[in-house]
């Protein structure tokens, strides 16, 4: 059974690596979201609210560039 995150990623047509880049998180974090659990704690791995907001923006077709350093 796919997680809601996996469904979102496939709906917007991103690879795991592309999703990590678009959301500003590590690839390992994307894998945890898709696996449904944290490897270290065994608890549910769901994106926090700030990440969910970026997910909504990406789903709407907005392109978000990284913050300049």
Q: Which domains, ranges and CATH numbers included, belong to the chain? A: 4-59 (1.10.260)
Which pLDDT score, from 0 to 100, does residue 65 have? 74
Which pLDDT score, from 0 to 100, does residue 1 have? 72
Tokens of 12: 């917007």
Distance CA 8, CA 27 (A): 16
Which pLDDT score, from 0 to 100, does residue 17 have? 95
Q: Which of 38, 33, 40 is nearest to 16 (CA)?
A: 33
pTM of the predicted model over 0.85 = no
Tokens of 57: 């923006």
Q: What are the tens digits of pLDDT across the range 22-63?
A: 998 999 999 999 987 766 677 778 899 999 999 999 999 988
Please, which pLDDT band fits residue 19 given cuts at 50, 70 and 90? Answer: very high
Tell whether the model's pLDDT for residue 12 goes beyond 90.
yes
């Amino acid at each position: 059974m796919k997680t809601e995150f996996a469904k979102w990623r496939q709906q917007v047509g991103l690879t795991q690596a592309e999703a990590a880049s678009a959301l500003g998180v590590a690839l390992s974090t994307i894998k945890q979201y898709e696996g449904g659990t944290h490897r270290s704690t065994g608890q549910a791995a769901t994106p926090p609210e700030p990440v969910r907001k970026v997910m909504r923006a990406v789903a709407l077709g907005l392109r978000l560039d990284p913050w300049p350093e």
